[in-house]
Structure 1
């Protein structure tokens, strides 16, 4: 355990600090990916404005998650170490269904990373970090996964074309 430079007493393990930095990068990657999805649906040849807005809001939310982790890192006496943000897997997200499936996979990946980070904190007896992850992230992740899974189910049901257009107008508005 490295000595804390913070004046507050801290039981902040370096593995936890590294894990928080890794999670910050993943949250920024998720924000970047959702922003890419938003711009895809905002194109003049796709013009699904509510899909664009849905993913734009998701991008902002993920960036806020990263910022909250940065604040936590500083409060605990750790150091925020920003890394390069990986480019999204693709730039053409296809249909609304394809994009929602990608979003579902992304949210599941973020959720697993948060669970792994929680295990790290628990292994080092860091109840404060466990509480922070539980109260600020895990419940919200389950809700997001559930919402997107329902969108995937409904998009499968309504089909492409007019069905996707109606979903855009009636569900995401």
Structure 2
């Protein structure tokens, strides 16, 4: 039996549970990005720009997971690192992989908004401030970048020389979708 931390103050069990759920959602995103990078790194796909992009996304998700764990500990909560389901590993096209990435970003953002709502309802202004300054703004920026990436990918018709040039531009732009 785990004792209640003496550091815990104005930190509801609902907030603690929601943060643990957020940790798992970000772990799922990290694993999905690793799996997507592996897909693009296969010899029959071979798109190094997209490999770089998705590896960087996985790294950022891992940093966020650690940040949430650290926050949970700081507030006197118990961080639960749970098992994650097997990520998708096959895609019909580069576009479908990037569209799946956009859906994932929106799901993670929706969960963050729910966590913020819980913080507001429990009058946990410290958590609300921490979420706003550490997670929400960056997630919205990620959604915009991925959406623009899809638009750029549409221009290439997702195949042939256009896809190759798109991928090379990502590779040269440090894994960013901006072309």
| TM-score, normalised with respect to structure 2 | 0.91
In structure 1, the gaps of 5 or more residues are none
Which structure 2 residues correspond to residues 19-34 of structure 1 after superposition, within 5 A? 19-34=18-33
- CA drift of 1:4 comes to 4.4
Aligned equivalents of 2:37 and 2:170: distance in 1? 16
Structure 1 residue 161: deviation in Å? 1.9
Question: Secondary structure of 2:168's partner?
Answer: helix
Contact 1:4 1:10 in 2 (8 A): no
Report the equivalent of 1:59. Answer: 58
Equivalent residue runs for 1:50-129 within 5 Å: 50-88=49-87, 90-129=88-127
Do the aligned partners of residues 83 and 9 (structure 1) sit closer, same or farther apart at CA in structure 2, a change above 3 Å counting? Answer: closer
CA distance in 2, matches of 1:60, 1:170: 21
1 CA distance for matches of 2:82 and 2:63? 17
Give how far 1:172 is off.
4.0
CA distances 1:77-106 after superposition (whole Å, capped 9, x unpaired): 000112211111x21123221111000000
Could you state the TM-score of these two structures normalised by the residue count of structure 1? 0.94
- Please report the RMSD computed on the Cα atoms of aligned residues, expressed in angstroms: 1.3
Q: Where does residue 134 of structure 2 map in the other structure?
A: 136
